[in-house]
Each structure stands twice: as C-alpha cells, then as structure tokens.
C-alpha cells in the first residue's frame, strides 16, 4: 500500500464513522432544538437540522430541488476529490490526508441528506458580542480542516519552488563537491 493510499484511507475511516456516530448520538440523546450547555457562554451541543448548505444556503428552496442540487454537487465534488487524489505522487501524504478528510466530511453530510433529507448539526460556538457561529458538525469541521491542509500544502510547495528558483535547482540543496570551474581564478574571486 502506497503512503498516499494509507493516509487517505486512514483519514476517511476516521472522519466518516466519527461524524456518523456523533450525529447518531445527538439524534438519540438530544431532542430537536434542545441545547446542552458545555462551556457556559462559549460552547453548547444543540440538535438542529440544516436543509440547506453552508450558512443555510438554499434552505428555503423546494425539497426536491434542494435534494437534487446538494446530492448532485456532492457527487461532483467526490469525483473531483478522487481525480485530485489519483494525480498525487505516491509520497504526497499531506494532500492525500487532506483529501481523505474532506471526502469523509462530504460523505458524512451526503449520508445525512440521504437518510434524513437534511444535515444534522450540533456544535454551537458562541463568539464575542453575543454572536453565535452557525451550528455545525464533525463533517463540516473535517471539510474545513482538509481544505486548510490543502492551502498549507500549496504555500509549502510555492516556498519550495521559490527556493529552487533562487539558483538552487537541486531539491536536495547545495552540493559540497567542488565543481571543476571553481579552479579558475575568476571562479575563486566570485566566491569571496
């Protein structure tokens, strides 16, 4: 098993069951719209349902159109994630981990839509000034973490490429072996 496949599968196998288990626990233990205060003024568990997308996008649309839209876009996203994964080199573990985490989150929310017709959300974070962040779930968190890892990977690769463009084209770094041109007086003066 290649390193990229190993981390991809591990990420997926952690995120998807964790997402579904936490949602099942919420559905069984907390009545709809009830709230359990965990950290006063900061964090609650709240059983809510989101018929729409992020920030309740398209939540008021007709049920059939919502289902077609969200299931269709999720399936397209899953295909794109698998295409990106397939194009990774076998040693690219950070992007493979990120893609596995995002896929786990996408499958978790897709499972909710197929099962309930909406997504179960329950993590309720209160911010400054009485503002409460829109309630979310483990799948949403996984998608954000995975996308953050992908962005981090892009920046890390950009720094590597910029470092290589500064005159060092060998990714292993500068060589300690002298080259034959350093024997000339001009070369010796240029190194001083």
Confidence of residue 54 (pLDDT cuts 50, 70, 90): low
Tell me the pLDDT tens digit for each residue of 60-78.
666 788 788 888 999 999 9
Catalytic residue chosen out of the listed positions 19, 112, 121, 124: 121
- Reply yes or no on whether 121 is catalytic: yes
Tell me the pLDDT tens digit for each residue of 151-170.
998 888 877 777 777 655 55
Q: What is the mean pLDDT of the chain?
A: 84
Tell me the pLDDT tens digit for each residue of 127-153.
888 888 899 999 999 999 999 999 998
> According to the model, what pLDDT value does residue 82 have?
96
Catalytic residue chosen out of the listed positions 140, 170, 179, 183: 140
Residue 41 backbone zone (phi > 0: left; psi -120 to 50: alpha; other: beta): left
């Amino acid at each position: 098993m290649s390193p990229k496949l190993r981390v991809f599968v591990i990420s997926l196998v952690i995120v998807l069951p964790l997402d579904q288990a936490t949602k099942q626990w919420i559905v069984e233990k907390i009545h709809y719209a009830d709230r359990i205060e965990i950290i006063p003024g900061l964090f609650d568990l709240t059983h809510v349902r989101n018929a729409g997308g992020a920030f309740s996008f398209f939540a008021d649309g007709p049920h059939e159109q919502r289902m077609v839209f969200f299931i269709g876009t999720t399936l397209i996203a899953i295909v794109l994630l698998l295409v990106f994964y397939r194009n990774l080199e076998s040693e690219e573990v950070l992007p493979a981990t990120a893609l596995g985490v995002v896929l786990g989150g996408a499958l978790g929310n897709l499972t909710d839509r197929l099962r309930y017709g909406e997504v179960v959300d329950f993590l309720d974070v209160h911010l400054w000034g009485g503002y409460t962040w829109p309630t979310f779930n483990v799948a949403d968190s996984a998608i954000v973490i995975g996308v953050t890892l992908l962005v981090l990977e892009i920046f890390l690769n950009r720094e590597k490429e910029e470092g290589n463009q500064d005159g060092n084209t060998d990714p292993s770094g500068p060589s300690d072996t002298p080259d034959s041109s350093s024997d000339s007086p001009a070369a010796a003066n240029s190194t001083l």
